Structure 1
Amino acid sequence: MTTILLGLASGLLIATITAPVGVSGAVFLLPVQLDVLHVPSPAVTPTNLLFNVIAIPGPLGRYHQQKQLGGHLTRLLVLGTLPGVVLGAVVRVHFAPGARLFRLLLAAMLLTLGVWLCARTLRRQPHQTVPSVSSPRPRTITVLALIVGFVGGIYGIGGGSLLGPILVGRGMSVAVVAPATLASTFLTSIVGVAAYAVLALTTAGNIAPHWALGLTCGLGGLAGGYLGARLQPHLPNTALRLLLGVLACALAAVYLIQAA
């Protein structure tokens, strides 16, 4: 019972903080599941994806009410992440790549993106707009989404934590990026959970999701994500950009600690 309540509270708190910037919160829930809730590996990956499936409809529903959902960016992200997550799931189950090198590389990238985004946001004066930077081309966005989907399929992380800092740092609005990355993460997670469920039927080991814990964490995330999405329009763009940068740095620190 304590584990269930802790999972519910963790999902609620994490999603409330991360939903305004398009991050599902699964990236921060991963170490909680591993070190506190003791979910075995590789079952922790589909459990994290299950959290996304249950939690993300909360913020997506709110963004839909606020007329922020849909558009060209969402389609580009989905086009890349869906095939990527299936390939990542197969690699995770059959080849079990080491997590330490991945975490070190991901930490370095997230720390660089986070510091760059924070510094770039703080450097401008309050009356200035964000410095003009050309947005990524559609093909570049889809390739990035494919890579993120692959990584998400292996390690059960949401694409928003990676795509968000890149797209916002290239000049796109958080209000546009957040709903698109969450929608992409949602669809990717559905496919990922299904892929792991199928692989669990033919492969020995802890591969299937921890259904009870994934559902419980997801219900907390459902409420927290809705609240976070509702708060987004009331937060200034500068604060949202800084929040995204700080979350990227915080996640980098988490991965460095785990790798050590």
Structure 2
Amino acid sequence: MDWTIWAGLAAGLLISVVTAPVGVSGAVFLLPVQLSLLGVPSPAVTPTNLLFNVVAGPGALWRYRRDGALRDGLARRLVLWTLPGVVAGAAVRVFALPGPGVFRLLVAALLLPLGTWLCLRTLHPVRQRPDAAEPSAPALAALALMVGTVGGIYGIGGGSLLGPVLAARGMPMTRIAPATLATTFTTSIAGAAAYAVLALASPGPVAPHWWLGLACGLGGLIGGYLGARLQPRLPETLLRLLLGTLAATLGTLYAAQAVA
């Protein structure tokens, strides 16, 4: 078997163990591995990442559902508005942003602010209240639509962007993590389907790398379950600092590559 399949499985497992407890699928960190180490071409790397989310998502979600954490209606409200956004983002990615240089700039523009945000919110936390108010219905809809569009372009489902924003409102991670993972899973299904259709009309490498995406997803399926199971035992501050540092470092690296 090709070494990239085993490498993808290991990467998906390790990343998901760390990211699932905070409601992130891990695709945001898997993407640079696929581009730089596993050689997945752009823009095919985006639907491959969405395929990873589809396969990996049920692991953590099953565990959260078993613990009763998915009974909240927040996930349904987020999914309703991220779905149309991710389809629009897929079209933008294929027809407007196919070049690797532009894509690296987009990666940097997303990862660097995300990492900085996570670190700042960890070092200067907002007091989390069990009864913290959600954003208003229009604000939540606008946020979810915007994140869905960006997630469709980037191939991350949007959970890694929704989580920090909702956490800044004071909402507890025990409520955010299951909802953002459910959103990521659902929008990734829609995004992967959109890319499969767009591949018929585009001459470039738009279709996902199926075997690699499945291997990464299998690793994520196992890692996501383990991460969700470990959530009550892991210090949230350490996890957020780790995620923020990784995101900021990767964003800086891709910014340097894009301008080189």
Structure 1 and Structure 2 fold alike (TM over 0.5): yes
Q: Indicate conservation of the 8 Å contact 2:86/2:157, yes or no.
A: no
TM superposition shift of 1:241 = 4.5
1:166 and 1:113, CA in 2 relative to 1: closer, same or farther beyond 3 A?
A: same
> Which whole-Å CA distance do the structure 2 matches of 1:192 and 1:70 have between them?
25
> Which whole-Å CA distance do the structure 2 matches of 1:120 and 1:242 have between them?
13
> C-alpha offsets along residues 138-192 of structure 1, whole Å, 9 cap, x if unaligned?
3212211111111111111232211111111210010100000000000000000
Give the match's secondary structure for 1:203.
Answer: coil
> Which whole-Å CA distance do the structure 2 matches of 1:76 and 1:242 have between them?
29
TM (norm. structure 1) is: 0.90
> Which whole-Å CA distance do the structure 2 matches of 1:165 and 1:140 have between them?
15
1:47 corresponds to which letter in structure 2?
T
Give the match's secondary structure for 1:209.
Answer: coil
> Which whole-Å CA distance do the structure 1 matches of 2:143 and 2:113 have between them?
14
> Which whole-Å CA distance do the structure 2 matches of 1:193 and 1:221 have between them?
17
Q: Indicate conservation of the 8 Å contact 1:9/1:217, yes or no.
A: yes
> Which whole-Å CA distance do the structure 1 matches of 2:166 and 2:81 have between them?
15
> Which whole-Å CA distance do the structure 1 matches of 2:134 and 2:241 have between them?
18
> Which whole-Å CA distance do the structure 2 matches of 1:136 and 1:223 have between them?
33
> Which whole-Å CA distance do the structure 1 matches of 2:59 and 2:111 have between them?
28
> Which whole-Å CA distance do the structure 1 matches of 2:121 and 2:140 have between them?
18
**Greater Cα shift, 109-118 or 74-83:** 109-118
2:122 counterpart of 1:115: no
1:20 and 1:51, CA in 2 relative to 1: closer, same or farther beyond 3 A?
A: same
TM superposition shift of 1:73 = 1.0
1:147 corresponds to which letter in structure 2?
M
Structure 1, unmatched stretches of 5+, are none
Q: Which residue of 1 aligns with 2:239?
A: 243
Give the match's secondary structure for 2:124.
Answer: helix
Map 1:115-194 → 2, pairs under 5 A: 115-121=119-125, 130=128, 135-194=134-193
TM (norm. structure 2) is: 0.90
Q: Which residue of 1 aligns with 2:218?
A: 219
Q: Which residue of 2 aligns with 1:2?
A: 3
**Greater Cα shift, 134-143 or 96-105:** 96-105
TM superposition shift of 1:9 = 0.4
Number of residues of Structure 1 aligned to a counterpart in Structure 2: 251
Q: Which residue of 1 aligns with 2:81?
A: 80
TM superposition shift of 1:206 = 0.2
TM superposition shift of 1:19 = 0.4
TM superposition shift of 1:230 = 0.7
Map 1:18-33 → 2, pairs under 5 A: 18-33=19-34
1:256 corresponds to which letter in structure 2?
T
> Which whole-Å CA distance do the structure 1 matches of 2:71 and 2:237 have between them?
21
TM superposition shift of 1:136 = 2.1
TM superposition shift of 1:31 = 0.3
- What percentage of residue pairs aligned between the two structures are identical? 59
2:251 counterpart of 1:255: yes
Give the match's secondary structure for 2:25.
Answer: coil
> Which whole-Å CA distance do the structure 2 matches of 1:108 and 1:55 have between them?
25
> Which whole-Å CA distance do the structure 1 matches of 2:128 and 2:96 have between them?
43
Deviating beyond 3 angstroms after TM superposition, the runs of 4 or more aligned structure 1 residues are 129-135
